[in-house]
Amino acid sequence: MPFINEKIGEADKARIDWTKFKTIPNDSDPGMRDPDWWTIDRERDVFFICIHPGGPDGGGVPTYALSWKGALIRIYAKGIWEIENLGDWEIAGLQIPPDLLQSQSSEILQVLKEALIVHGFNYDGPYTKAVKIVVPGHQE
User: Which pLDDT score, from 0 to 100, does residue 137 have?
Assistant: 55
Run of H or E including 132: none
Beta strands in 8-138 (DSSP E): 37-41, 46-52, 63-68, 71-79, 89-95, 133-134
State the amino acid at position 88 in one-letter form. D
Question: What single-letter amino acid sits at 69?
Answer: K
Closest Cα to residue 51, out of 87, 19, 81, 3?
19
Q: Which of 8-12, 22-26, 47-51, 91-95 has the lowest mean pLDDT?
A: 22-26
DSSP state at residue 136: T
**pLDDT tens digit sequence for 52-87:** 877 655 557 888 899 988 888 988 887 776 666 666
Residues 113-136: tens digit of each pLDDT: 889 888 887 777 656 666 777 766
Cβ neighbors of 8 (< 8 A, separation 6 or more) are 35, 36, 37, 38
Please tell me whether the overall predicted TM-score, pTM, comes out greater than 0.85 for this model: no
49: confidence class by pLDDT, cuts 50, 70, 90:
very high
- Using alpha carbons, select from 61, 62, 38, 35 the residue that is nearest to residue 48: 38
